[in-house]
Structures are given as C-alpha cells and as structure tokens.
Amino acid sequence: MSETVNENVKETLGFQAEVKQLLQLMIHSLYSHKEIFLRELISNASDACDKLRFEALTDAALFEADSELKIKVSVDKDAKTITLRDNGIGMSRQEVIEHIGTIAKSGTREFFGKLTGDQKKDAQLIGQFGVGFYSSFIVADRVTLTTRRAGLTQEHGVRWESAGEGDYTLETVEMAERGTEIVLHMKDDEAEFLDAWRLKSVIREYSDHIAIPVEFINDKAEDEKDKVETVNRANALWTRAKNDITEDEYKAFYKHVGHDYEDPLAWTHVKVEGRQDYTALLYVPAHAPFDLWDRDAKAGVKLYVKRVFIMEDARKLMPSYLRFIRGVIDAADLPLNVSREILQETRDMEMIRGGCVRKVLDLLDDLAENRKEDYAKVWEHFGRVLKEGVGEDQGNKERIAKLLRFRTTTVDEETVTLADYVGRMKEGQDKIYYLTAETLAAAKASPHLEALRNKGVEVILLADRVDEWLVGNLFEFDGKSLASVAKGQVDLAAIKSAEGDEPEAEAPKAEEAAPLLERIKAALGERAKDVRASNRLVESPACLVADEGDLNGNLARMLKSMGQAVPESTPILEVNLSHALIKRLEAESLASDAGARFDELAGLLMDQAVLLDGGQLADPAGFVKRVNGLLFG
C-alpha cells in the first residue's frame, strides 16, 4: 500500500484481510479478561521508549530536550475516554500504515490456528503473536491514534482513527511533542474501566515490572501533588536483589517479556562479576512458542546495557538450540558506538553468551535431576530442539547428551537417558545400539531388531528428523560408541543371551551358502551392492543394510524430500539362511529348469526388504506380478 501524493488530505484506507478477521474476533468474541488491553498498550508504549533510547545512543538529538521517558494514563468519565501517552520513538506516516493497517508477520495465520474457543486462553494469545494494539477494540468502539516520530518536525504528525469495521482514516496533523497518544472511546458497557482505582489496579497487576514510569494523571485533583501518581515501581526487576523479588513478580515479568499467558516452568536469575559484569534473568517456558520451528523468528532474549534496551533479536546471546529460552541480559559495559552486527562479534559478547548457556544448562540439569515431571514437559515441548545442540555446541556436547531422552525396545511409554541405557547394557556388549526410522511404529517393527531382541539387547529407537543429525554428531557416550543396527556389520557373538533363553539353533554356514548368495546377487544386478548372510535376522527372510560409508535409507529419503541432492548408494541385501523362503530359493537354484523362476523369487525377496525398510518400489506392478505368480503359479 503506497502513500498518496498529498499527505495532508484525510483519506480512508482498508485494512488487510487478516486485520479485518482479527478485529471481528476482538469485538465479538474475546469478552473474558478484557483488562489485557491495558497491559498490551502499556507494553507497546514501553517498547517505543526502549527503541528511542537505543536510537538516541548514536543520535542524542532524538530526545528533543526531553530525555525523561514515561507513560501517562488518564481518564475522562464525561467523554468516556481513556488516553495513553508515551514520549517514545513514535511513528512516521508510512510506519503507521505498515504497523497498524497491516500485520506483516508470518505468525498471523498461526495465531488464528491456535485459537481454542476458550476465551481466557484466546485473549492471552494476543500479545504472544504481536497483535496487542488491536485488543483496544475489546473495550472501545472507536480508537484514535496520534503520533510523531522522533526527529521529524511537528508538522509531520499523523492521526489514525478507526471504529474497527474494516477501514481507517489517516491524516497529517501538527504534533508538538514526539511519541504516541492513543484515545480509546469506550463502549457504553465498559464503564468499569473509567474508574481510576480499577485502572490503577490493572496497571499494578500487569505492568508493575515495566522499567518506564507509568503515571496516572488526574487533572481534576484539587491538591497539585495528587494530579500525578506513579503507579508502577518503574525499575528493572532484574536489577533488584533476588530476595526482594517474589515468585509472583518473577512470573508476571515472564508473561511480559515472553508474551505468554502461562507461568514459566523455571527460571534462573544470576549476577556475574569479573572481566565482564552482567545480570541475566532467563526463563524456561511451559509450552513451545508458536514460532519454535521458524528459523527466521526473533530470538527470545533481550539485550540491555546499563538498563538501556539494545536489541530484541539477540541471537548471539543464545544458541539456536536454546531458542525457546525467554528473558533479559543486562551487561554493565559493551562498545555501543559500533553497529549491532559488530557488537555481536566482540569477545565480551562471547563470554556473556558462554556464561548464560552454562546457566541455562545448569537449570535444565536441576530440572532433570530434582523435578522430573517438569523436565518431562521440557522434553515433550523442546526435546527435538535440544537435540540440535549436540552438533551445534561442541563445547557442551557431553552436557547436552546427558539431557537427552529416548524411547527404546525395552521401555515403551517412558523415556530413558543414555546413562540409563549404559547401566543396563548386557554382559559382553560394548556399543550403544540405535535405529532410525520415519516413525516410532516403523522402528519397532523393523527386522533389524530381531537378533538383538532375542539376545535381550536394548536398542534406542529414533523417529524424529533431527535424529539423523544427532547420531551424525554424537559418536560416543561414557566411553561407549554408538552403532546403527541397520548399518555395516553387527557382531553379537560376545553378547550372552538373555537368561532363560532357549539355546540358539545352529545357523547354516555362510561359506556353504556362498553359491546361493552369488546367484541372488546376479539375479538382482544393480539393485544390490552385495548379498550376504545375516546375523541380525530371526523371523524375516531379508533386510536392507547400508554400507559403513553410505547414507542409510531413512536419511536418503529425508534429504530427497527436502529437495537436497543425495549421493547415489546401493544397499546391501542381507538374507536369513534359516528362513523358509531362502530355502525355497536354494531348492529353486538346484532345479534343472532354474532361471526365470529363481530371478522372480529373488526380486520378490528384494521388494520385501525395500518395503520393510520404509522405501518405495520402483516397479509396484512388477511386485504384484511376482506375488501373484508365487500364489497361483
């Protein structure tokens, strides 16, 4: 949407389609917890003040001789209006169009998808998805916004007004002071919010932790000292001593900084002194944020320097695998005269990052050890993200590995740690065995598990996409190497069978079956790199195995689905020499008329192995023909 040539003309513009839908929701649906409108507007005003502080670091003239930042709230019962005024950064005409007339966020669609019908929860989602301004229409039937960006002259003020009915008006006005003023023309049935005591109680409940003073203005007060009352504490919560902060205050601050509607699971509040002094207040949410899998989403930790807001997207302060962490980091000193990008690369920033990562891992360790139910929630929501850390953070790989949880062939409903697995290893077992598959059900049904299951050997089952990345970077744990049961050779000879197992029947010798294996290989041609006797099969006739240096089938399929080039590799076919189908093949190979019939059975054997491995057949019609030939031939 472009601006008109003559900006002084009052024009009527239409809302973006998503905004119309959002306004209808605000006006007609979210009538529980209406007071959140005040929390959202004050939060936006606080952000505007923080942004001005940051821009003024390199251009002090933006303060316009008024560096005392504050937010003012007033009520006019006769006019039935509530007014909020801040002297923050303000907006230009184009910024008003971009930020108010449209929602330029990928999260808009997710916002509507998250709505549950529970009015309390739905109302609390508003701030989380960055659409807090529109909550004004929960209580107001008309909203007037007047703003001027710091640095522009007073004739560049902008007035925006809407009744929330699909369009808005925009005009250029004179505005002497920078910042933003919002006037809510309250609905007739929202008189409760025109009461000064009610408004002040809402501010104390939701915005007490805001570092910018929130003043309540009462121009009608007879005593001059009663005309201006600072309602909130107006100091940065993280700068206070931990003993002076209540649990409820910690939780309230999290809801502000995390734009969340639930209490956090846990938090850590630390003050570090040394070569680099800083304070950090970091939270573990109780549920995954909507943009957890959006790699372009802003990180959840805000950076301050001496309580001056610097940046919200502080990616260098928290690695990608901890992107669910919310909170603030306040450094005592950083080189603010350089750009944000250079700032992120300084050694001081690396020290702060390293210290904060250790504190978060300490917190997760404590949850895993002492609050197992809470850690189970962490793993449920963030486990797949934590797995990324094994490859991303080499310095903390061992710590992260201890936090991992897995399903195995021994434990069905619960998860186990790698330490649990090592503690249960069989006598003679020297490897941690795992299997990757597209689904947990496919992993459980894999033929690769048969011999290990007979031996009572536990196998870790991996069915998340990130698991291929995980095992590609985690080579050992507690001195035990990790080994795929679907790759290379699996030597189980040294492992004793489970107590009470029946003695194992003597398997046919591979040397004696060499002619048969060669015959099968010849029949399959380029479909198999090799055909060999298997020591991992008990019930199935055959399975596919990746050679040591090749990609396994699951990883190859995953990469192809992502549009990535996959190096060509041919699987190895392992056969169970004790199986009836293999013995049938052997009999066919000895028959005087062996030939086409043998090749058909060998092809069927390969097709079965491909399907059991989760692959797709290149010639489904040929497979059906071979099955029919076996059944009716």
Tens-digit pLDDT profile for residues 313-348: 666 788 989 989 999 998 887 665 434 444 555 677
CATH number of the domain that 124 lies in?
A: 3.30.565.10
Does residue 457 lie in a domain region? Answer: no
Q: Are residues 633 and 515 in the same domain?
A: yes
Q: What is the pLDDT of residues 145-157, one digit of tens each?
A: 999 999 999 999 9
Distance between CA atoms of residues 20 and 16, nearest Å:
7
Does residue 480 lie in a domain region? Answer: no
Domain boundary residue among 318, 353, 380?
380
Q: Are residues 319 and 299 in the same domain?
A: yes
Which pLDDT belongs to residue 125?
52
Mean pLDDT of the 604-614 span:
88
Does residue 466 lie in a domain region? Answer: no
Spatial CA neighbour of 570 closest among 547, 588, 540, 548: 547
Q: What is the pLDDT of residues 218-249, one digit of tens each?
A: 887 778 787 899 998 777 889 888 999 999 99
Question: What is the DSSP-derived secondary structure letter of residue 100?
Answer: I
Q: Are residues 255 and 227 in the same domain?
A: no
Does residue 154 lie in a domain region? Answer: yes
Does residue 427 lie in a domain region? Answer: no
User: In this structure, are residues 117 and 135 in contact, taking their beta carbons and an 8 Å threshold?
Assistant: no
Distance between CA atoms of residues 396 and 386, nearest Å:
12
Grade residue 25 by pLDDT with cuts at 50, 70 and 90.
low
Q: Is 182 helix (H, G, I), strand (E, B) or coil?
A: strand
**In which domain, by residue range, is 355 found?**
238-361+371-380
Least confident of 133-137, 212-216, 307-311, 527-531: 307-311
* Beta strands at 431-436 and 266-272: parallel, antiparallel or unpaired: unpaired
Q: Could you give the residue ranges of the DSSP H alpha helices within 57-118?
A: 93-96, 107-114
Q: Are residues 221 and 251 in the same domain?
A: no
Q: What is the pLDDT of residues 249-284, one digit of tens each?
A: 999 889 878 878 789 999 999 999 877 889 999 999
Question: How many percent of the chain have pLDDT more than 70?
Answer: 83
Q: Are residues 527 and 599 in the same domain?
A: yes
Domain boundary residue among 209, 233, 257?
233
Which pLDDT belongs to residue 366?
97
Q: Are residues 225 and 328 in the same domain?
A: no
Least confident of 93-102, 254-263, 413-422, 552-561: 552-561
Which pLDDT belongs to residue 252?
86
Q: Is 462 helix (H, G, I), strand (E, B) or coil?
A: strand
